[in-house]
Structure 1
Amino acid sequence: MTNPCIICVAITGSLPTKENNPAVPITVSEQIESTHEAFEAGATIAHCHVRDDDGKATSDPDRFAALKEGLEKHCPGLIVQLSTGGRSGAGQTRGGMLPLRPDMASLSVGSNNFPTRVYENPPDLVDWLASEMRIYDVKPEIEAFDLSHILQAAKMYEDGRIKDRPYVQFVMGVKNAMPADREVFDYYIKTVRRLFGDDTPWCAAGIGRNQIVLNDWAVSAGGHARTGLEDNVRIDRDTLAASNAALVKRVVDLCDKYERPVATWQQARDILALRAA
């Protein structure tokens, strides 16, 4: 395969703590340093959450602004993707950072079960987040925790609620949601191609021990891959990951294995039809 592979690094998330792994970057300065290392290792998208002074997830636009500014300064060309996820706030506070005009933002278009709760994405909130992304020229990454989310993204694209052809990320391995199932994964790819075209880029993310499994499936199938300490704090059962960069390097090794080049930031922006850096 000759098509470049985009590597997304999910640097922090809402849940991992330094008790889970001391390498988890919590403060904005830690996040910038960790992302810079991952960028140099081959990541070209940073999926970003921010934390408050107590290390708890927040949607504070000022903290997102500081992170975005630092990443753009120290990682020129990097695609900055901000999270609108539900662990960081409620209702429209989840989209309070969209006026910052990041390159991308996550968009979950439906609800599903999480390990201990329901991840609620009511239709009116989804529509509002999508409208804010259109207003501020932010490309959504559709986080598909279920097949219905891919179909909903197609409907939103057809009726104009999503402006550009969706970039869908399959999320597998969340407890009580979609497990890491190869037949389902292959059907996801088939569905994306049927709905959006054979040349549509897509991504996959695996949670916990399923991270490397989904990395392998995605790279070998011609898709793009997400890694990072948000989703998995270990290299293996007995070994903590030393950094986000260490997890990125595992994906780079898979790209070498399957003879795929790692996408540069310029190539990643072209593949995703993003505005210039």
Structure 2
Amino acid sequence: MARKSVIITCAITGSLHTPSMSPYLPITPDEIVKESVAAAEAGASIIHLHARDPKDGRPSADPDIFMQFLPRIKQQTGAVLNITTGGGPGMALDERLAAAERASPEMTSLNMGSINNGLFAGARRIKDYRFDWEKPFLEGGKSSYFENSFQNIETIMKRLGQGHGVRFEFECYDLGHIYNLAYMLDQKLYEGPLFLQFILGILGGVGAEVDNLLLMVRTAQRLFGDSFEWSVLAAGRHQMPMCVHNALMGGNVRVGLEDSLNLGPGELAKSNADQVAKIRRLLSELSFDIATPDEARQRLALKGGHQVNF
């Protein structure tokens, strides 16, 4: 049987890395547009998007900022635009959902459980901060956690899935998150096809080891049969190796400056497109085809770009 083409997702900026970590991290709407278009041209069929305050780069959930880049990216690419529902540390649920409810995108992320997130570990590596908010933001990760209770998950599924026809990138940071998704399916809150994003290498979640990835894939297969797509993202230096491993197992891949600031050991990535081009080259050399946006839409049963509100 011919193997499927690989769906490449690119996560453009995120909410955890701070501007002092890399001069190449996109902050303003103009930078996010430029990076997203280039990533799509390099081969990404899904673009995962957060917003930032254009003045100082801190995470923002402001729908007005999202609307400064969403229509422009849509006009210039055919890529699927996937909006965060995780937002950033400390954001309330209504705040996290505001942009997605306004934009009614084809896809959003959905974290499948509450997690500790060791932002504080990154603070030690920064000698000079560009903005005053960065250091306390990072250090605050030692005493805080990202909340996504069962109630929150149910609310997101109802308000976005049932309310807007949104499909989800189910982000699973640990084995239990896969079982949380199975419970939600048992409650008839969502129907497949599923798109699972296994997240490895985050301090507070499962480690970036092939055995862990295999266990997560096999667990999902036991719970969901063959009616799901899965992808992997791995933090930092684990990004490219874990993506290649996952493709060899039949899965899809996610890269981008949200997940890793580097292109190789000790080498900052100068753009998201550089990472997309690298993983595409690696996969092409292993004889994998790369999925187009329309192929991704068909496999993930998305509603189409003509049914969004931007």
The interval holding the TM-score normalised by the smaller chain is over 0.9
SS at match of 1:80: strand
SS at match of 2:236: coil
> What does 1:166-245 correspond to in 2, within 5 Å?
166-245=194-273
SS at match of 1:119: coil
**1:30 alignment partner in structure 2:** 31
**1:271 alignment partner in structure 2:** 299
Q: CA offset at residue 66 of structure 1?
A: 2.3
Q: CA offset at residue 199 of structure 1?
A: 4.5
Change in Cα spacing, 1:28 to 1:86, as seen in structure 2 (3 Å) is: closer
Cα distance in 1 for residues equivalent to 2:69 and 2:197: 23
Which ranges of structure 2 fall in alignment gaps of 5 or more residues?
Answer: 119-141, 306-310
Q: CA offset at residue 246 of structure 1?
A: 0.5
Q: CA offset at residue 254 of structure 1?
A: 2.3
Q: Is the 8 A contact 2:196 2:231 kept in 1?
A: yes
Cα distance in 2 for residues equivalent to 1:153 and 1:166: 10
Pair 1:108 & 2:95 matched = no
Which ranges of structure 1 fall in alignment gaps of 5 or more residues?
Answer: none
> What does 1:4-19 correspond to in 2, within 5 Å?
4-19=5-20
Q: CA offset at residue 83 of structure 1?
A: 0.5
Which amino acid in the other structure matches residue 122 of structure 1? S
**2:85 alignment partner in structure 1:** 84
Pair 1:129 & 2:156 matched = yes
Q: CA offset at residue 187 of structure 1?
A: 1.4
Which amino acid in the other structure matches residue 165 of structure 1? P
SS at match of 1:209: helix
Larger radius of gyration: 2
Cα distance in 2 for residues equivalent to 1:86 and 1:80: 15
Change in Cα spacing, 1:153 to 1:165, as seen in structure 2 (3 Å) is: farther
Cα distance in 1 for residues equivalent to 2:146 and 2:209: 21
Q: CA offset at residue 123 of structure 1?
A: 2.1
Q: Is the 8 A contact 1:49 1:83 kept in 2?
A: yes
Cα distance in 1 for residues equivalent to 2:48 and 2:230: 15
**1:249 alignment partner in structure 2:** 277
**1:119 alignment partner in structure 2:** 146
Which amino acid in the other structure matches residue 129 of structure 1? I
Which amino acid in the other structure matches residue 49 of structure 2? C
Pair 1:21 & 2:22 matched = yes
**1:95 alignment partner in structure 2:** 97
Cα distance in 2 for residues equivalent to 1:122 and 1:58: 21
TM-score, scaled to structure 2: 0.85
Cα distance in 1 for residues equivalent to 2:248 and 2:262: 22
Percent of residue pairs bearing the same amino acid type = 32
Cα distance in 2 for residues equivalent to 1:3 and 1:126: 30
Which amino acid in the other structure matches residue 224 of structure 2? F
Q: Is the 8 A contact 1:219 1:254 kept in 2?
A: no
Cα distance in 2 for residues equivalent to 1:94 and 1:276: 23
Q: Is the 8 A contact 2:172 2:178 kept in 1?
A: yes
Cα distance in 1 for residues equivalent to 2:62 and 2:72: 16
Which amino acid in the other structure matches residue 88 of structure 2? R
Cα distance in 2 for residues equivalent to 1:173 and 1:257: 26
**1:54 alignment partner in structure 2:** 56
Cα distance in 2 for residues equivalent to 1:242 and 1:63: 24
Q: CA offset at residue 40 of structure 1?
A: 0.6
1:150 maps to which of 178, 186, 195: 178
Q: CA offset at residue 112 of structure 1?
A: 1.8
Q: CA offset at residue 69 of structure 1?
A: 0.8
Greater mean alpha carbon deviation, residues 154-163 or residues 4-13: 154-163
Cα distance in 2 for residues equivalent to 1:150 and 1:82: 21
2:71 maps to which of 64, 69, 72: 69
TM-score, scaled to structure 1: 0.95
SS at match of 2:88: helix
**1:3 alignment partner in structure 2:** 4
Q: CA offset at residue 86 of structure 1?
A: 4.7
